[in-house]
Chain A
């Protein structure tokens, strides 16, 4: 109630009818927003660092030096290292297909891309579990040929690719649409073939979109929990990622261990955030020199319009 009426009052600032009243209103709204963000975002994150270092740096270093932590860390890095190139390569191909090609089923493809955003990570994990688990024909076939997917690295990678699939595509498609086909056609008339045109004209134009998609993919790969937890089986020292390590430590009442893994993840998240900011300010400065449309951070990617046709898909 107060929030709404303060919002109303802050309109006075834009309208500039009553300077003093407007100032009060603006400060009120600012105060509400800062308190809200402080309680919801800033304090909790700061608190993790406080908790982790409560007993000094010793226990933290000790937690980091444990093999369980290190194997979890390595596993998370491995999954990310596989997921990111796959999502980038196929993401760019899929984005090109959606933005540049006309073929039957294109709209179905387009809505499938958004599906991971509408699915619970647990459901994603479950669906992979059902496809590749030991009870399914596919899982059985693979197992007979010595390939285990579920409770092993391949399943965790598949789950991570599934949840990360939309990012690169949803960042690149709007950029492709925005740059249009003029530059590519110009390259063709100048004698460049498809591959050369892609490398020399299209790729340079979409590289920032790809980069941003990659940043989001990295963040999600490092931090994915639900989907990976389902297919990993949480085999100690083998299929425990950093995020499942956090839960496992917490449930084992090893608070310092849980918080230590958390601050490692949080630090990586802050680095990603920093990358996002660099990208944003870079985009702003680039914007000055071209007619790029401004777009939201994650919003270009997930228009509700895309999900509209999913019911039928």
Chain B
């Protein structure tokens, strides 16, 4: 087991950031900690790194109890949300920092830093300062810096949060490839479900300092443990007591059993799919996703009266209060 978190709790003043959290991460796995802000995911990551000390519980890294070990001796690589570049050092010196601390021979540092800069594709910027790099380049420099010390565990705090949408997508794919090459056990924090689904082998969904569900992306999507997970992973409609994914609703032109009458507010073309926004007779709003061909065949138009029928729906036992459905992707 690369990381073992056992019964960890953490409180900041009045705010209980983590309630008795336990989690195991296996070797070589790429795990996402997913949750809304304030869910405790970043705190958990910082506790793994040793940047915060838990009030209770234990942290084990590779069968070693590190709960009382300072971050310097944990053998973790940490990539900060805003990358925390050493502004007064060149890209090369940033990446070399951990190696010089460890007093490695000069030529070894040279070779290793060059290799890493090539790996993250910023070797031509070695002599620049962080301020002269773009956000994506700074991000990759931070990654190279963390990887330089050959950490047993790589931790990334919202690694793509500060980047624009296009760069973010590129870096996502790139991080996945990098992981497949290096196989370093990696945990990253994100609030973006699409990002988590896209990159991670396994997702840990957190809310209010607790773990709601752990599993591979597909399992979370198809078998959410509760309404929070369902609404957080992917778009969802709430119809009374039931929860339905937009693509699990059929649009019919004629009334049938189990179908409710609704008026089309808007038809949005998203490429292959079409999103149809409906208002039902009870005033509730429903978002439906249908393939483009089907939408064209049905000749859907705003103002039209149609009938919506859920083909697959979920009912959760304890219908506690849950935030609004995540917006459709």
Contacts and interface: CB of A to CB of B under 8 A. Distances in A.
Given A191-B149, A289-B131, A185 B98 contact: no
B51 interface: yes
A183 B70 CA distance: 16
Given A186-B78, A196-B101, A191 B87 contact: no
A183 B72 contact: no
B86 A188 contact: no
B249 to A, nearest CB: 45
Contacts of B78: 185-186, 189
Interface residues of A, number: 18
Contacts of A189: 49-51, 71-72, 74, 76-78, 146
A185 B149 contact: no
B80 interface: yes
**Range, interface on chain B:** 20 to 34
B145 interface: yes
Interface string B277-309: 000000000000000000000000000000000
A205 B146 CA distance: 21
A120 B86 CA distance: 42
Nearest to B89: A204
Contacts of A205: 87-88
Contacts of A200: 86, 97
Interface in A149-205: 182-183, 185-193, 196, 200-201, 204-205
B129 interface: yes
A196 B86 CA distance: 14
Contact of B131 (A190, A191, A192, A290): A290
Contacts of B73: 191
B101 A192 contact: yes
Given A182-B80, A185-B78, A190 B98 contact: yes
Nearest to B142: A186
B51 A182 contact: no
Contacts of B326: none
B86 to A, nearest CB: 6
B7 to A, nearest CB: 24
Contact of B51 (A188, A192, A196, A290): A188
B86 A201 contact: yes
Contacts of A186: 78, 80, 84, 86, 142, 145
A191 B84 contact: no
A204 B129 CA distance: 14
Contact of A183 (B71, B74, B87, B131): B87
A46 to B, nearest CB: 41
Most buried by A among B76, B84, B88, B102: B84
Given A187-B97, A201-B86, A205-B87, 4 more contacts: A182-B82, A189-B72, A190-B98, A289-B129
5 contacts: A187-B86, A188-B50, A189-B76, A192-B101, A290-B131
Interface of A: 182-183, 185-193, 196, 200-201, 204-205, 289-290
**A-B CB proximity, top 7 nearest:** A182-B84, A190-B98, A189-B78, A289-B131, A186-B84, A204-B88, A188-B71
